[in-house]
Structure 1
Amino acid sequence: MSPDFSIIVPCYNQAQFLSETLQSVLSQTHFNWECIIVDDGSPDNTEKIALEWVKKDRRFVYLKKENGGLSSARNAGIKIAKGEFILPLDADDYISSSYLGSAKKVLFANDHIKLVYGNAIKFGAVNCKWELETYSYHGLLEGNLIYCSAIYRKKDFDNTNGYDESMKSGYEDWDFWLQLLTEQDKVHFLEETVFFYRIKNESMLQAIKDEHSRELRNYIYNKYKSLYEKYWDDPILVKRKNSQLTRMYKNSLDYKLGNFLINPLRRIVK
């Protein structure tokens, strides 16, 4: 029997977290899955730990390859995946025991839903609920709204170019969602907490914000230029910039003073 889900776990220098990640897979209430551990040429003891899990449960599969980066590792794992649905899971994160079961109820009953994800928690250097923006296609054009570990159909992956292997500094998830989704596609958000994202002091996301954000955004804009021009005449992020200006204005002294003076008049009018 083919698995319903293929969970793809790329691992490079994350062996110390790998067992926690794989334990979250083993704990799934939905049992029909495979988990492909992709050793991306890792110099640590990833292979030793991965093979221990392969011996523990035959649903774990070990794939070793030369180092090529996160996108390359995901693509390699998905290439050999047998499941109908794909769940990318980084080797230092983990998922709730109900994630696959909850996603199955939605995806099996609704062919028109293209992607499923849900509430998330940040843990590690930071511990808090991840305040995710509500999904909209226009919002996705402005910036990434969906974390990496959302679930989608393999047949839909096959209609894309896969994860962009030239993007080794981040935003590869955003790039992939732009390939996968159109304005007409339906995305389902689970209200339960299903994903746990590890925050480390050397977080790649922080490095992106500090050093590479503009270049990566320019890369994405140029890659999907015709798509952006279809929706806006202005360059990428113009709407977000406008909203940022609005927030800055509402936090200004002039705005607050104006509200202080005009609020009594509003109450009189009301």
Structure 2
Amino acid sequence: MSAVQVSIIIPTYNRATYIGEALTSIINQTYIHWECLVIDDGSTDNTKTVVSAYQDKDDRIRYTTRPDSYPKGSNGSRNYGLSLAQGQYIAFCDDDDYWLHDKLEKQIPIFQQHPEVGLVTGNIEYVNSDGLRTGRVIKQTGNHGYVFEEILLKNRLSMITPVVKREVFDKVGLFNTNFVIFEDWEYWRRVAYYYPFYALQDVLACVRKHDSNTSLIVTQKPSEQFVRYRKLTKALLKWGEHRFTKADIMLIDEVEIKRYLQIMQNHCPNMKDKISFIGHISINNITLGLKLFSSFIKSKL
């Protein structure tokens, strides 16, 4: 096995159909100093058989199952993978997506050129269920520099694109296993508090759109968007309890109100819907509801 610089973690569950393409894209990387840890979350299909065939071809691939001491779900598997990882950089690939062959070759040198950055990311392109590229590119070039405020408002990174310094996890902590939706957004917010990001303008990875995408369970109902965002804010404030300054907390509060105003603008087409949304928030948190109402009046939405 070559010297490990990058540990690639793939959490998987019943993805025998797609995981081979993910592993092929990793084996084909032009940067060769990696290990790939496939963490199975309890698959009942032949995922293990598929992965074992790739493991036989390349001893840099390791297959293991998530132990019961780690919670179920992708974040539990990622955290277990981190406990096994030997690399000084960490990367993630979802089991139904794949990387372009020069992804790591483009990202790793950035850390030597800019040692202050915590992660290096780039753009993604959507592919269809058969893995064919669609030309629909999602640019992540806005994730450059200190982007804590920007990433509070909107998740601007995919899970499969960044390469992260190992030291980031020592400083920021592991993934929050209480999150299934927005589990990546919750983590990138914490990273952005301490570290600048570096965003390449290249497409580095492809995200597959198919009928069993986890993202399909997310609705755009304003009340549900509020619940999801409020959970993010509460988790961040808990993590930052002994880290955040008063100014940090004020910023988080301001951005949260801004997020809710955006939801109102985009998903509450009439005044009745807007007032209903404010009322829903007020029932859950009267202080937050009053702040939103005040901001709404000033905004003239």
TM-score (structure 2 length as normaliser): 0.75
Change (3 A) 1:191 1:214: same
1:82 alignment partner in structure 2: 86
The Cα RMSD (Å) is: 2.6
Cα separation, 2, equivalents of 1:14 and 1:71: 17
Q: Tell me if the contact between 1:86 and 1:153 (Cα under 8 Å) persists in the aligned partners.
A: yes
Cα separation, 1, equivalents of 2:231 and 2:263: 23
Structure 1 segment 251-262 matched on structure 2, within 5 A: none
Q: Tell me if the contact between 2:152 and 2:252 (Cα under 8 Å) persists in the aligned partners.
A: no
Cα separation, 1, equivalents of 2:45 and 2:220: 28
Give the number of the structure with larger relative contact order, counting CA–CA contacts within 8 Å between residues 6 or more apart: 1
Unaligned runs of 5+ in 2: 270-301
Cα separation, 2, equivalents of 1:61 and 1:101: 22
1:190 alignment partner in structure 2: 200
Q: Tell me if the contact between 2:124 and 2:207 (Cα under 8 Å) persists in the aligned partners.
A: yes
Letter in 2 for 1:30: Y
Q: 3-state DSSP class of the match of 1:159?
A: helix
Cα separation, 1, equivalents of 2:110 and 2:260: 31
Q: 3-state DSSP class of the match of 1:130?
A: strand
2:288 alignment partner in structure 1: none
Change (3 A) 1:240 1:129: farther
Q: 3-state DSSP class of the match of 1:92?
A: coil
2:13 alignment partner in structure 1: 12
Tell me how far 1:16 sits from its aligned partner.
0.6
1:158 paired to 2:146: no
Cα separation, 2, equivalents of 1:233 and 1:214: 14
Number of residue-to-residue matches in the alignment:
247
Cα separation, 1, equivalents of 2:262 and 2:22: 40
1:238 paired to 2:258: yes
Letter in 2 for 1:116: V
Letter in 1 for 2:218: I
1:174 paired to 2:185: yes
2:154 alignment partner in structure 1: 143
Cα separation, 2, equivalents of 1:104 and 1:7: 13
Alignment equivalent of 2:72, drawn from 65, 68, 73? 68
Letter in 2 for 1:139: E
TM-score (structure 1 length as normaliser): 0.83
Letter in 2 for 1:62: Y
Q: Tell me if the contact between 2:125 and 2:135 (Cα under 8 Å) persists in the aligned partners.
A: yes
Cα separation, 2, equivalents of 1:207 and 1:213: 12
Change (3 A) 1:231 1:42: same
Structure 1 segment 26-175 matched on structure 2, within 5 A: 26-66=27-67, 68-124=72-128, 127-132=134-139, 134-135=142-143, 136-149=147-160, 150-168=162-180, 170-175=181-186
Cα separation, 2, equivalents of 1:231 and 1:79: 34
Q: Tell me if the contact between 1:5 and 1:86 (Cα under 8 Å) persists in the aligned partners.
A: yes
Moved more, 59-68 or 140-149: 59-68
Q: 3-state DSSP class of the match of 1:214?
A: helix
Q: Tell me if the contact between 2:25 and 2:98 (Cα under 8 Å) persists in the aligned partners.
A: yes
**What's the CA shift string for 1:53-102, capped at 9, x where partnerless?**
11111100111125710100111111100011111110000011111111
Unaligned runs of 5+ in 1: 250-270
Letter in 1 for 2:173: N
Q: 3-state DSSP class of the match of 1:15?
A: coil
Letter in 1 for 2:164: Y
Letter in 2 for 1:137: F
Q: Tell me if the contact between 1:2 and 1:82 (Cα under 8 Å) persists in the aligned partners.
A: no
Letter in 2 for 1:158: D
